[in-house]
Structure 1
Amino acid sequence: PADFYTRLRSSAVVPTTSQPTPGDFHAAYQELGEYERVYSLHIAGTLSGTVESARAAAAEFGDRIRVVDTETASAAVAMLGLAIQRRLERGTTDEEVEKLVRRHRRESQLIFTLDTLDYLARGGRIGRAAAWAGGLMRVKPILTIRDGEVIPIKRVRGNQRAFQEFIAAFESGSSDGPGLRVAIADADAPDRTEALRELVGRTRPQADLELVATLGPVIGTHAGPGTVGLFWFADE
């Protein structure tokens, strides 16, 4: 990812992304043939056609493959996967997992900021934040994703003010405890991730920071370098 972001910052050529084909998913599902149930979790269908490719492939496997439109993106998808895995390890049912998926769609929260909206605009993923594009000199947009759509929250000046907004949203939208699961993801901005990690630890000291990640090239292409996001979900 580091090399990718170096090129993304300097290249005049804008990279493009494309979802896997149904054939790609079909091959992957065949490789998982030893499992009686597969949960295939995907970025919101409103942001990518990936989930439709997965559904087309899964149709040939009957009920064994459960394709899930998470209605979210990035680390939030991974957090749902970790929550499902915890239940699989202790023993669960399809009904319990489906209930978890519905609750995750309702209750999982994320907030993120970008250095610029240009990358979202180029990729057509900008949603309601389109009204802010082109007018952000030294201003940080604070955004979220709801029902699979990018939603603008506020515009502030500078990273420090952006993180104040992050923590205010995190504090008002969570309760401290070991069941509070948290993740941080960035696009070539490790210093911002470290600062956010410290703020999270002070704000919710009992929370489980279960994932710290660098955004891969697909999300990074649309979010742009400098992006950082905070994700949380109350679970067992």
Structure 2
Amino acid sequence: MDHKGDLVFAKIMERVLCFEYMHGGSLDKHITDESCKLDWPICYKIIRGTCEGLHHLHTAQEKPIFHLDIKPANILLDKSMTPKIADLGLSKLVSSTLTHKTEIAKGTQGYMPPEYVESGFVSKKFDVFSLGVVIIKMMAGNMGYFCRAEKSPKDFIEHVTENWTRRLQEKPGYSSHQIDILRVSTTVEIALRCVAKDRKERPSIKDVVHELAELEAKIEKMSLASDLPKDLTFQGAEVPL
């Protein structure tokens, strides 16, 4: 390199970030205008994994990390379709969970909550709103997210549930419709609360993870009950004392 008119040898240090190769690509590649092209079990795995990843960002450290750009393009899928949240370029490490205000709005249109777009307010409910948008687009498609405004929450949940019921029934040899439809209806209901205009009405990511865990506990009980012999409740009823 040139140094004061002379050519000299110099050591140049370059730092390179190496990431795990994600065989499944980004989630946005799997979402169409109608819905996610992936089967429901995989969709549900991605939804739960993304919720748990966001929960880790918000709660694992002493100071929460707000991602501020949760969207399908920033959710990467590995070989087993396990999701990993990427691109923390806009994220903030905050000293508390209180609301903060920024002067310049940065993010992705459609995934930013109204209080941020209108007034620059940032809180832990920012990422929850973005998460809700992602889940709805996975379950109803890119166009379905915008169509939700034309329906009541009840009608939208029924609409999404009916579409997934039809997809599940079309799959040969599939038998767990009842359990998966329960997952579908519960998940889309949670997602609708996540995109509430008033951030105070949105659940925290901790609440979302807890609700999904409770759902799985309920399903496990249902599965165990369905495996019991039909006359089990009567066993022992006539044993003489």
- TM norm structure 2: 0.23
* The structure with more strand, counted as a fraction of residues: 1
* The structure with more helix, counted as a fraction of residues: 2
Structure with larger Rg: 2
Greater relative CO (CA pairs within 8 A, separation 6+): 1
- TM norm structure 1: 0.24
